[in-house]
Amino acid sequence: MHNLMEHIRGGISRSIEQAIRTLVIAGELPGDVVGVLSDAPAPLEVPKDPKHGEFASPIAMAIAKRAGKPPREVASFIVRELMASGERTYVEAAEIAGPGFINFRLSRQWVSDSVALILSGGAKYGHCDFGRGERVMVEFVSANPVGPLNVVNARAAAVGDTLVRLLKAAGYDAASEFYVNDAGRQVEMLAESVYARYMELIGREYPFPEDGYRGEYVRDIAAVATEDPGIAARLLTMNADEARGFFREYALRHILDWQKRSLAQYEVHFDRWFSERELRATGAVEMMISEMEEAGHTYREEGALWFRSSEFGDDKDRVLVKSDGLYTYVAPDLAYHKDKLSRGFAKLIDILGPDHHGYEGRMQAGLKSFGYPDGTLEVLLLQLVTLMREGQPVKMSKRAGEFITMDDLLDEVPKDAARYFFIMRNTSSHLDFDLDLARAQSMDNPVWYIQYAHARCCSIFRQAEAAGISGGAWAQADLTLLAEPGELDLVRKMAAFPDEVLSAAIERAPSRIAKYGLDVASVFHSFYNECRVISDDTALTVARLALVDAAKTVIANALNIMGIAAPERM
């Protein structure tokens, strides 16, 4: 059992349903109230105030009208039957509250079993097999290989990597991929720009392209080439076209290596870097277009080949091949998505920047035309990032052709803080990134606050060892001794972790784990301040050490899903 709370929830829900059916048979409730239960299980909610118990059900209010009785009277019937014959393993009491809610308080057995489940689960606690057997491809970052990664790329990397970790924790067979757009005019312009800077550095005249890349990094790449005498010798044997071809490969290699180093520093690693140029070389784009033509999904107009995408849900038709014979980006991108699915992935998730509105409709239309079902592709659009320093926006451009890079950010902000700040807001929300707060080593910094909770757990264990309490002493702890409000609040929050992981995976919402990590750290710090862990009461000390060990496990697991370190000392 990976999720005790879900097990208890299901047991209570079934007991409520059985109680209502028993009351109907006894003639205390009319038969038509059973119809309320036909569509869904008896509803259970988690009260906002823990004083109201662990669960609450509005079922009495839902069936009161059919029963022809006041909700509180209906609730009293249900509570009486529950206490007489319902599942009582974990339920200590059922109480009527407000207009007719039934509040459930759980027994100390629930506390004991929850902590034991966390300790036995270890690094896998919170994981489940919900997505078992379903292969999911998450494509993210996929920055053009014509320059360094920027701040929006950094957000995409944090969100994408965390989402992959979430999906794996929920049992999915998830993989990550970076699509390298290494074909097309932008790459040719990069080659032209580097070649022009190279010629300039060796004292030769060569016009810099009007739309060229003017960043200092272009000059840096060219400067490295001037230091290699072998390159100079090779270029002597080449004409201008051959030289540009050489610099295309040379610049691409340098920039891709740079992007990979930046991502490695961020602890983001891809299962595959997929080249658009290699895709084109296989003939996949031509074969896809032929397939669409044969199916009657295309037409020609003014020399261009159009895809009838409006017939498959897009807002208008799209050009696949322009009148000059060149592909629009739609053609190779569709071929790429088709290739992903041909590799056995059942679900595709693309994480894209804010300039990709409308992209999903085009890709969805293409996949529908190939016979793939609705929902095969999901697109998450990330909104823009504003860096803030001393409460003021930071200019993202440093000078002509230059911008703040991911490397610049990581030079100023620790990797763990950067990852947390980028995922702490919903992907559809604009993000104000507070550089001062991200650098702060204080309880005001949310990631520092969470990490400090983990380090505090480790410190408690060192204190226990110094007091002569061995690491395995709490294996036989009497966990029913955990009854203080701070202890129960911590158990409740930790028991919710499996639900949070699954919900975050299903909703594609890494921000849920960021919030959960902050919440569980807050509850732990409150427990620490309210309850002395190591005391003269040996039995209680051992029970609380078991609780601290469970908290350490949950906090570490949440941090791991976010790709953030769980330090033992701070």
pLDDT tens per residue across span 332-387: 999 999 999 999 999 999 999 888 888 999 999 999 999 999 999 999 999 999 99
Q: At 402, is the pLDDT very low, low, confident or very high (cuts 50, 70, 90)?
A: low
pLDDT tens per residue across span 498-523: 999 999 999 999 999 999 999 999 99
Q: At 89, is the pLDDT very low, low, confident or very high (cuts 50, 70, 90)?
A: confident
Topology of the domain covering 444-561: Isoleucyl-tRNA Synthetase; Domain 1 (1.10.730)
For the chain, which residues make up each domain, given as ranges? Answer: 4-106, 135-182+270-381, 185-265, 444-561
Q: Give the pLDDT score at 86.
A: 57
The first and second tokens of residue 110, run together, are 């629930």
CA 315: distance to chain centroid? Answer: 30
Q: How many CB atoms are located within 10 Å of the residue 299 CB? A: 12
pLDDT tens per residue across span 52-71: 889 999 999 989 998 999 99
Q: Is the pLDDT of residue 39 over 80?
A: no
Q: At 473, is the pLDDT very low, low, confident or very high (cuts 50, 70, 90)?
A: confident
Q: Is the pLDDT of residue 1 over 70?
A: no
The Cα 275–Cα 183 span in angstroms is 9
Topology of the domain covering 135-182+270-381: Rossmann fold (3.40.50)
pLDDT above 70 as % of the chain: 98
- Are 361 and 391 in contact, with CB atoms under 8 Å apart? no
Residue with the larger pLDDT of the pair 90 and 36: 90
Q: At 50, is the pLDDT very low, low, confident or very high (cuts 50, 70, 90)?
A: confident
Report the run of H or E that residue 34 belongs to, with start and end: none
The Cα 220–Cα 241 span in angstroms is 22
Mean pLDDT, rounded, for 304-329: 96
Contacts of 189 (CB under 8 A, 6+ apart): 146, 209, 211, 212, 213
Contacts of 288 (CB under 8 A, 6+ apart): 331, 334, 335, 338
Task: Choose the weakest-confidence range: 388-392, 397-401, 416-420.
Answer: 397-401
Task: Choose the weakest-confidence range: 53-67, 174-188, 450-464, 470-484.
Answer: 470-484
In DSSP terms, 319 is beta-bridged to 306
Average pLDDT in the chain: 93
The Cα 499–Cα 554 span in angstroms is 13
Q: At 40, is the pLDDT very low, low, confident or very high (cuts 50, 70, 90)?
A: low
**What class has domain 4-106?**
alpha beta
Render 46-64 in DSSP notation, one character per residue.
--SSGGG-SEEE-HHHHHH
Q: Which residue has the tokens 């990094």?
A: 217
The Cα 471–Cα 539 span in angstroms is 15
The Cα 85–Cα 386 span in angstroms is 59
Within this chain, domains 4-106 and 444-561 share the same CATH topology = no
Q: Is the pLDDT of residue 399 over 60?
A: no
Kindly calculate the radius of gyration of the chain based on its CA atoms and give it in whole angstroms: 30
The Cα 16–Cα 540 span in angstroms is 36
pLDDT above 90 as % of the chain: 79
Mean pLDDT, rounded, for 126-142: 97
Q: Which residue has the tokens 């679900």?
A: 347
pLDDT tens per residue across span 144-184: 999 999 999 999 999 999 999 999 999 999 999 999 999 98
The Cα 277–Cα 256 span in angstroms is 14
The first and second tokens of residue 247, run together, are 């610099």
